Amino acid sequence: MRVYLDNAATTPLDKEVFDAMAPFMLEHFGNPSSIHSHGREVRAAIEKARRTVATLLNTSPAEVFFTSGGTEADNAAILCTCRTLGIRHAITTQLEHHAVLHTMELLEKQDGVQVSYLRHDERGNLDLAHLEELLSSQPQTLVSIMHANNEIGNLNNIEAIGALCKKYNAIFHSDTVQTMGHYKHDLQQLGANFIVGSAHKFHGPKGVGFLYCDANVKIQPLIQGGAQERNMRGGTENVYGIIGLAKALEIAYRDMEEHTRYIQGLKDRMIYQLKEQLEDVHFNGMSATADKSLYTVLNVSLPASDINEMLLFSLDINKISASGGSACSSGANTGSHVLRALDVDPTRGSVRFSFSKYNTPEEIDFAAETLAKLYKKVSA
């Protein structure tokens, strides 16, 4: 058995999604910008996909723009909002994905934008009183706060953040990559001006995503070129990617209740097994608290041990694919900017397990037993 427990990094493609995409690789190959029938049939399919996404998110198709993924959508929302509207102050957190953090650093260095980082506690809970303090003292602000953290799974209260942004007239972007397709987003309720999606996080294809852009916030495009995406993103569309994204989101919404229950059950099982079989095991951030974290992510904190440096490698040779964080290759905490920001003891080991509808209880048991054996071996 080889077990894949790295679904926050990417998810396997759903066969139903592949079946929807295949005709757009082989038969319907026209360029959607061409005015002849080969082009028009593909254009119609893209617009249908856009309507599907918009309907699921309770917004208008005119506010949905397809991109190459979550990173591009985050970059476009942050860079283009600040540059188009001349925004001089941004608020974010140290726990964001690098798609947001590095974009903020660029704005700071190249555009002289002042970036404030929100306070949080040692489990990654954000201080919303601090947000209000910052918002009330800085007019014309861009706030970028993720819906859920990809490493520790913490769910942020983006409705409350959206309401604060509205109160102080700030623009609000939320990186929703980890919740899109796993939670319902109702854009009439949310109070966000920008949210994003990345198809490969919900069993769609890689290299395609979207940006929801509030029609009341007019921004210039990130990518210059042709008139594609209503002048918001130059470049020939990733047609089969877009078709796959819409299909994957449709399936995710269709089956959400059942999959949420099932995956939360797998995560609960993992928590139980690890607590039973390992001594001194904790969970980083809020990842073991059901209503405060993604049901797909569990970040496990393991005792100080020589094995920690090679933890992910040891799991891999024992047939388990897991991760230490977004761009982290070792099991030691030093590789993760999120765990560092939480001041997690660097001698402890950390591993992120992330689950999908394709995982089984047997795989969970196997992973928990393997981890327990690795630590028992070294402590024996």
> Interface with ligand PLP includes 326 (CB under 6 A)?
yes
The angle subtended at Cα 276 by Cα 273 and Cα 279, nearest 5°, is 120
Q: How many CB atoms lie within 10 A of CB 186?
A: 11
| Residue closer to ligand PLP (CB basis): 30 or 70 | 70
Q: Which two tokens stand for residue 143?
A: 């706030």
Chain-centroid distance of CA 68 in Å reads 14
Q: Measure the CA–CA gap between 87 and 194, rounded to whole angstroms.
A: 15
- String of contacts with ligand PLP for each residue 150-169, x by CB under 6 A: x-------------------
Q: Which range of residues in 70-78, 184-192, 241-249, 302-310 is near ligand PLP by CB under 6 A? A: 70-78
Beta strands in the chain (DSSP E): 3-4, 64-67, 89-92, 114-117, 141-144, 171-174, 194-198, 209-213, 282-283, 297-302, 320-321, 349-354
**Among residues 126, 135, 146, 339, which is the contact residue for ligand PLP, using CB under 6 A?**
146
| Residue closer to ligand PLP (CB basis): 201 or 348 | 201
Best CA proximity match to 326, nearest among 174, 98, 75, 173: 98
**Among residues 54, 78, 99, 171, which is the contact residue for ligand PLP, using CB under 6 A?**
99
For the bound state, the minimum distance from the C-beta of residue 100 to ligand PLP, rounded and expressed in Å, comes to: 7
> Interface with ligand PLP includes 205 (CB under 6 A)?
no
**Among residues 181, 209, 241, 324, which is the contact residue for ligand PLP, using CB under 6 A?**
209
Q: Which residues are catalytic?
A: 328
Q: Which two tokens stand for residue 284?
A: 């980083």
Amino acid identity, position 368: A
> Interface with ligand PLP includes 245 (CB under 6 A)?
no
For the bound state, the minimum distance from the C-beta of residue 96 to ligand PLP, rounded and expressed in Å, comes to: 8
Q: Measure the CA–CA gap between 272 and 284, rounded to whole angstroms.
A: 15
Q: Which two tokens stand for residue 296?
A: 């797909």
Q: Are strands 297-302 and 349-354 parallel, antiparallel or unpaired?
A: antiparallel
> Interface with ligand PLP includes 198 (CB under 6 A)?
yes
- 167-196 binders of ligand PLP (CB under 6 A): 175, 177-178
For the bound state, the minimum distance from the C-beta of residue 198 to ligand PLP, rounded and expressed in Å, comes to: 3
**Among residues 43, 50, 89, 97, which is the contact residue for ligand PLP, using CB under 6 A?**
97
For the bound state, the minimum distance from the C-beta of residue 98 to ligand PLP, rounded and expressed in Å, comes to: 8
For the bound state, the minimum distance from the C-beta of residue 24 to ligand PLP, rounded and expressed in Å, comes to: 20
For the bound state, the minimum distance from the C-beta of residue 356 to ligand PLP, rounded and expressed in Å, comes to: 14
Q: Which string of b and e fits 19-50 if b means at least 16 CB within 10 Å?
A: ebbeebeeebebebeeeeeeeeebbebbeebb
**Among residues 71, 75, 144, 314, which is the contact residue for ligand PLP, using CB under 6 A?**
71
Q: How many CB atoms lie within 10 A of CB 255?
A: 13
| Residue closer to ligand PLP (CB basis): 194 or 375 | 194
- DSSP letters, 324-339, are SSSS--SSBGGG-HHH
> Interface with ligand PLP includes 43 (CB under 6 A)?
no
For the bound state, the minimum distance from the C-beta of residue 275 to ligand PLP, rounded and expressed in Å, comes to: 27
Instruction: Report, in angstroms and rounded to the nearest whole number, the Rg of the chain calculated over CA atoms.
Output: 21
| Residue closer to ligand PLP (CB basis): 175 or 229 | 175
Q: Which range of residues in 53-61, 68-76, 235-243, 259-267 is near ligand PLP by CB under 6 A? A: 68-76
Compute φ and ψ for 10, nearest 5 degrees. Answer: -165, 155
Q: Measure the CA–CA gap between 200 and 167, rounded to whole angstroms.
A: 35
**Among residues 30, 70, 324, 349, which is the contact residue for ligand PLP, using CB under 6 A?**
70
Contacts to ligand PLP by CB under 6 A: 69-71, 74, 97, 99, 146, 150, 175, 177-178, 198, 209, 326
